[in-house]
Chains A and B, each alone.
Chain A
Amino acid sequence: MVNLGLKLAREVCVEYKEILSQKDGYRLNVYAVERNSRSRVMESIDGLTQDKKDEVINLLQKMAENGTEYKSPKVKWRLAKYSYGELKPHGHRFFFFVKVNENLILFDYEEKKKGSLKSDIYKRLQTEMKYYEREFERFISGN
């Protein structure tokens, strides 16, 4: 689990796909991580029912519009103990993001039918997040 970041660095091609942009008047840019040409986040949004999709889209737009000032029972800008946030549109769907300066990076998605996610998952996500954060800085600087 701990070495996941290194494993990702060796084997995975990571890209950041811009979904919302400051150029369009948003306060934050929103990116979705794509790993080996697949994005768990985008595929998960796409797989939602129309109503749930509309809810998630609107929530992300509100977050991009207002930044961290935006308050919602469904958004935790930063989880306790971890340095990333969680968007929980419904009890069992979790979108994870990290804010790097003026950019919001949606880096993973989890689904759990009942109860909350185990702490092992949150720890793994913390390692993943650090990797994506580092890679993003490289992506932004063009290296």
Chain B
Amino acid sequence: MTVSRPTWLVAAAVIIFAGLAAIGVYRPAHAAAPPSVIKIGTLYASSGTFAVASQGQYQGLQYWASLVNKDGGVYVKAFNKKIPVKIIAYDDQSSTTTATTLYNQLITQDKVDVLIADFGSVLTSVAIPLAAEHHMLLIDPTGSGANFFTKKTDYLADVSIPSSAVWPVPLAQFILAQKLKRVAILYDSNDFDASQAETLKSVLGQGGVTPVYYNGVPTTESNYAVLLHTIAATHPDAVLEFGYAPNDIAFLRDLTSSGLHFNMTFTIFPGQLISLITKNVGAKALAYTYTYPTPPLVRYPHVTTGMNTAEFVQAFTAANKVAPNFLNAAGYNNGLIVGEMLARAPQFTQLDFHSALMAMSGSTTTLLGAFKINENGAQLGELLPVAQIVPEGTANKFVVVYPQDKATGKAVYPAPQQ
């Protein structure tokens, strides 16, 4: 049998086209006709270590979707029309194993149009290689581990929290400005906390400060009594603990019950989940400790898209009968960024989505601050200042102490003994 040249060429073209489609370089799925809904796939944790934070983030995204759908849907430039959004969400129970399976299901079975990771670096870490393998852009709300962003990629964008490579920079600068020389750093051994600790150590090192204590503990650590005693033996001026909310609770409770006192104590999650932490450790235990205050504690009045921070607080409170925390704001911000991305992407492809995000970078401000990502997908904007929690009557208030242009007061150092 002979094959004519045109037939051979057609066959070759079909094979090449099929090959490109198989590896996902060419994704024509919605190029021809607009879909009836934009499918947004995400995970949340109803239980486990990350449940509280994850559910807050998910609730924020749901709130954004409800607002958008009330308005007829999200504007999609590729189809020049508004299309309703549908969130497809599964419960990973804070397990990376379960999350891996469910991310895979969202991509391959549900064939979602937009993929959003669950809360935090631990549950995001398993989504990154999967998304890249399937040529899906991963919207990464709060996975900030510095090692996620080490090379150029079209398939990852950290949208709602600064990368851990830049996040602790204001904190390090504050410590250097305070001329503190003896710094103890205790961190959880996970992508989020370890990379924050590493960045902090590096910036302090550039300022001539070498930590007197620098150790990691398991993320499941819940007993800090002996660790605190070991740290106290190094006579630090400042003790910085990088952990998740359960770690911060155990750390602060053990610090209170130990009778030890440090001139400066820093933890992360009081700035994000102040009511949870206060409920568990008490307002007195938080007095004069330091944290990163996050929106809505820090407010951005001038935004280019969506509600500003104050408007969001008012609207979210009215809709949900409870004031939002940072994770709610982060979840809402994910939706805003996705909405703006769809409104700008000329074609309905993952690569166009990524290009739209890059175009937004540097020119977009939301309720979380300036949106600025680099070619590795790291968030370099939305920087968080340093605040001290100061007693006010029987409660506490946040006083931003660094940087100077955002400061609302001066740091009380050394912290008075309670």
- Please indicate whether A and B come from the same complex rather than being unrelated chains: no
Which residues in B have some Cβ–Cβ distance to A below 8 Å?
none
